[in-house]
Structure 1
């Protein structure tokens, strides 16, 4: 669905500005990313308000996105599925409650996973040269470490979900 919307919009843009240097494929890809991101933000924030967990939803969105930017991770094949799965994950994680001890343990597990697997498949979402991948690993570890001071259960759960997406399953390239 997202891909169809992006394709229709890209064709409309190209019809109105045929001399623009961006190709149809580039426009479609860029629009798909924008539609995907906007859809996730709107859906999760509306659901956060409806479920009265807006602050937790914001914490999950920010922590997940920040870690994902520096660590990479598994990608779904469809933008529509990405919106559905990400929205469901954010909604579920924003309702997580756990003890301080469990929060610390989950943060420690996320730290270990980030140290072992970050960055994973980062080349699919950035143009950062491979020589900087060790820096991305350190940034991932530092970011996860922040929750040792925050002690947030939802941030711990968010980081755990993201670091599980770093594990190089079949077809996923680590580093």
Structure 2
């Protein structure tokens, strides 16, 4: 659903502004990313209103997205698959409560996963040169490590979920 919609929108933009420097495939990709993000955010927020967990969901989505920019992670092939999985993930995480002990454990495991696997799969998703990837790892470690001080449970669970997505089992098996 997302890809065809993005294609129709890109073709419409190109027909209205034929001299636009971006090609239809480039516009389609950019629009697909934006639509994906909009559907995930909108659907998750609507569900959170009914579950009464809006504050938790907003915290989880913000923490997840912020860390994902530094660490990368597994990407699903389908835009709608990503919307479904992300919406279920963020909604589900909003129901998990961590006490201080589990908050610390989740944060420390997240830091270990970053040390081992980050950044993962961002080579074709960022314009940041590969020579700066070690700085992304350090920034991610500092970001996650700050939660040892602040001890926000929904941030810890969001970081934990994001760092689990750094583990690319297919790449690990072939190494």
TM-score by length of 2: 0.94
Following TM superposition, by how much is the alpha carbon of 1:124 offset from its aligned partner in structure 2, in angstroms? 2.9
The Cα offsets for residues 96-142 of structure 1, whole Å up to 9 and x where unpaired, read as 11221011111100010011111001123211100000000001101
Q: Trace 1:46-65 onto structure 2 (pairs within 5 A).
A: 46-65=46-65
Measure how far apart 1:143 and its partner are. Answer: 1.0
Contact 1:44 1:91 in 2 (8 A): yes
Summarize the alignment of residues 66-85 of structure 1 with structure 2, pairs less than 5 Å apart: 66-85=66-85
Q: Which 4+ stretches in 1 moved above 6 angstroms?
A: none
> Larger deviation: 126-135 or 13-22?
13-22
> Structure 2 matches for 1:10-21, cutoff 5 A?
10-21=10-21
Gaps (5+ residues) in structure 1?
A: none
Between the aligned partners of 2:147 and 2:47, the Cα distance in structure 1 is: 24
Whether the aligned pair in 2 keeps the contact of 1:71 and 1:136 (CA below 8 Å) is yes
Is the aligned partner of 1:22 residue 2:22?
Answer: yes
CA distance in 2, matches of 1:89, 1:124: 24
Q: Gaps (5+ residues) in structure 2?
A: none
Secondary structure of residue in 1 paired with 2:145: helix
What SS is found at the alignment partner of 2:76? coil
Q: Give, in whole Å, the separation in 1 of the partners of 2:4 and 2:64.
A: 27
1:135 aligns with 2:141: no
Kindly report which structure 2 residues correspond to 1:139-154, keeping only aligned pairs within 5 A, or say none: 139-154=139-154
Q: Is the 8 A contact 1:95 1:154 kept in 2?
A: no
The number of aligned residues is 172
Alignment match, 1:121? 121
In structure 1, the residue corresponding to 2:12 is in which secondary structure? Answer: helix
Task: Give the TM-score, by structure 1 length.
Answer: 0.94
Q: What's the counterpart of residue 5 of structure 1?
A: 5
- In structure 2, C-alpha distance between the alignment counterparts of 1:39 and 1:150, rounded to whole Å: 30
The farther-off stretch of 161-170 and 87-96 is 161-170
Answer yes or no: is the 8 Å Cα contact 1:76–1:82 preserved in 2: yes
